[in-house]
Amino acid sequence: MITVKDLHKSFSKVEILKGISAEIQKGEVVVVIGPSGSGKSTFLRCLNLLEQPTSGEIMFEGEQITAKNHNINATREKMGMVFQQFNLFPHKSVLENITLAPMKVRGQSRSDAEKVADELLKTVGLQDKRNAYPSQLSGGQKQRIAIARALAMQPHVMLFDEPTSALDPEMVGEVLEVMKKLAENGMTMVIVTHEMGFAREVGDRILFMDGGRIVEEGAPDQIFSNPSHPRTREFLSKVL
Residue 89 near which of ligand ADP, Mg ion, none (CB within 5-8 Å, type-dependent) = none
Is 41 or 75 the residue whose CB approaches Mg ion more closely? 41
Chain center to CA of 114 = 24
Q: Using CB under 6 A, which residues numbered 2 to 21 contact ligand ADP?
A: 11, 16
93-96, long-range: CB < 8 A, 24+ apart: 93/130, 93/131, 93/132, 93/133, 94/121, 94/126, 94/129, 94/130, 94/131, 94/132, 94/133, 94/134, 94/137, 94/145, 95/130, 95/131
The interface mask with ligand ADP, positions 39-58, x = CB under 6 A, is xxxx----------------
Considering only residues 41, 75, 143, 188, which one is a binding residue for Mg ion as defined by CB under 5 A?
41
Is 34 or 203 the residue whose CB approaches ligand ADP more closely? 34
Residues contacting 127, CB < 8 A, separation 6+: 118, 121
Is 7 or 152 the residue whose CB approaches Mg ion more closely? 7
- What is the Cα–Cα distance from 41 to 48, expressed in whole angstroms? 11
Angle at 28 between CA 187 and CA 70, to 5 degrees: 80
Amino acid at 161: D
Considering only residues 7, 38, 81, 121, which one is a binding residue for ligand ADP as defined by CB under 6 A?
38
Residue 38 near which of Mg ion, ligand ADP, none (CB within 5-8 Å, type-dependent) = ligand ADP
36 lies in the binding site for ligand ADP (CB under 6 A)? yes
The count of chain residues that interact with ligand ADP, using the rule CB under 6 A, is: 10
- Smallest separation (angstroms) from ligand ADP to the CB of 196: 15
Q: Which of 177, 214, 196 is nearest to 39 (CA)?
A: 214
- Smallest separation (angstroms) from Mg ion to the CB of 74: 26
Q: Which residues bind ligand ADP (CB under 6 A)?
A: 11, 16, 34, 36-42
